Amino acid sequence: MILIGRTQPPPAEIEMQAEVIFGEVPDSLGNAYYPKKEAGLTVPDDAKGNGVQMEYHPDVNSEVMRWLACEAELIQCVGRARGVNRTVETPLQIDIIGTVPLPFGVTEVMTLTEAKPEPLDIMAGRGVVLNCEPSAKGAARVVAAMLPDLYGTSDAVKSARRRSRCRTPNENSILSKRHREENLSKRWRSASLKLADSRYAVPIKVRRCLWRGLRDGETPPRGARLSKMWNVIFVLEPLLPEEHRANAGYILRN
């Protein structure tokens, strides 16, 4: 479960609610926004804990109403994941992106920069991973083809790899260690890719199934497996004819 952001009504609205509920005129912030104060996070003894700058209302009654609209709503959202029903075999991971301290134990704290995925992780999300070292011959061209929004050329990939201290063993960190990629043989297949402008064939793994949203005006082919989330219709990629495969996972020959 990924929880992003929070609800936070403006102070004037919160003060009005507090006056109605408690029958007392609150100490108003006027035209000012909520002040901030340092708040700690609950982490295990061996984990790195950071404080956050949380917003609050100095008036006690107004703070009650603000907390109900902000922290309480986030707590309810976390409860929707039904962690109480999970077991050791079916763990639940909750990623909270924001600066609101919640009454939960936090296993790991990191900045947004630290949490951003590495380029090879983004490739995995698009359906293709290298089945070799990133420094292998021809691999940089494959990475550039999969990540045109990050790298324009294979030379840019090589330069980025030289600047980065990250050494990613693909089999371990991209495929084998993450619980969402279980049943590797069922979800991924091995392949060898030789791009038209490359001299070398590069070992890769391709995810068998990719879901993507239908584009405006696009009609799904008969028999395609569909799923709807809100107003977006998703289709299972392998059932689409070649002319519809504009997903990044299919810009390679597979």
57-116: pLDDT as tens digits: 999 999 999 999 999 999 999 999 999 999 988 889 999 998 899 988 888 888 888 888
Give strand pairing partners of 54: 37
Pair 235, 226: CB distance under 8 Å: yes
Pair (124, 95) in one structural domain: no
Residue with tokens 């924001």: 98
Copy the structure tokens of residue 191: 């392949």
pLDDT at 171: 40
Pair (52, 147) in one structural domain: no
Indicate whether 132 pLDDT > 80.
yes
Indicate whether 204 pLDDT > 60.
yes
Q: Which range among 6-20, 64-78, 140-154 shows the weakest confidence by mean pLDDT?
A: 140-154
Pair (123, 246) in one structural domain: yes
Give the confidence band of 179 by pLDDT, cuts at 50, 70, 90: very low
Give the confidence band of 18 by pLDDT, cuts at 50, 70, 90: very high
Give strand pairing partners of 2: 95
Domain that residue 41 falls in = 2-112
Pair (124, 230) in one structural domain: yes
pLDDT at 79: 93
**End-of-domain residue from the set 112, 133, 166:** 112
CA atoms of 41 and 48, how far apart (whole Å) = 10
pLDDT at 69: 96
Average pLDDT over residues 16-30: 96
Could you give phi then psi for residue 98, rounded to 5 degrees?
A: 165, -170
Pair (127, 232) in one structural domain: yes
Give the confidence band of 250 by pLDDT, cuts at 50, 70, 90: very low
Q: Which range among 195-199, 210-214, 240-244 shows the weakest confidence by mean pLDDT?
A: 240-244
Per DSSP, the three-state class of 89 is coil
- Please give the mean pLDDT across all residues of the chain: 79
Residue with tokens 């919160």: 14
> What pTM was estimated for this model as a whole?
0.59
Q: Packing angle between helix 139-146 and helix 154-163, nearest 10 degrees?
A: 100
Pair (216, 103) in one structural domain: no
Number of domains into which the chain is organized: 2
Q: Which amino acid is at 109?
A: V
Pair (11, 95) in one structural domain: yes
Contact partners, residue 47, CB within 8 Å, separation at least 6: 106, 107, 108, 109
Pair (31, 84) in one structural domain: yes
**pLDDT top residue among 121 and 18:** 18
Pair (36, 146) in one structural domain: no
Q: Taking the mean position of all CA atoms in its chain, how far away is CA 238?
A: 24
H helix or E strand, kind and range, residue 95? strand 95-97
DSSP 104-159: SB-S----HHHHSPPHHHHHHHTTEEESS-TTSTTHHHHHHHH-TTT-SSHHHHHH
Pair (184, 245) in one structural domain: yes
Residue with tokens 């990191």: 110
Pair (185, 89) in one structural domain: no
**End-of-domain residue from the set 112, 135, 156:** 112
CA atoms of 240 and 221, how far apart (whole Å) = 7
pLDDT at 150: 84
Torsion from C-alpha of 117, 215, 238, 222, nearest 10 degrees: 160
Pair 64, 51: CB distance under 8 Å: no
**pLDDT top residue among 171 and 214:** 214
Pair (174, 107) in one structural domain: no
pLDDT at 163: 62
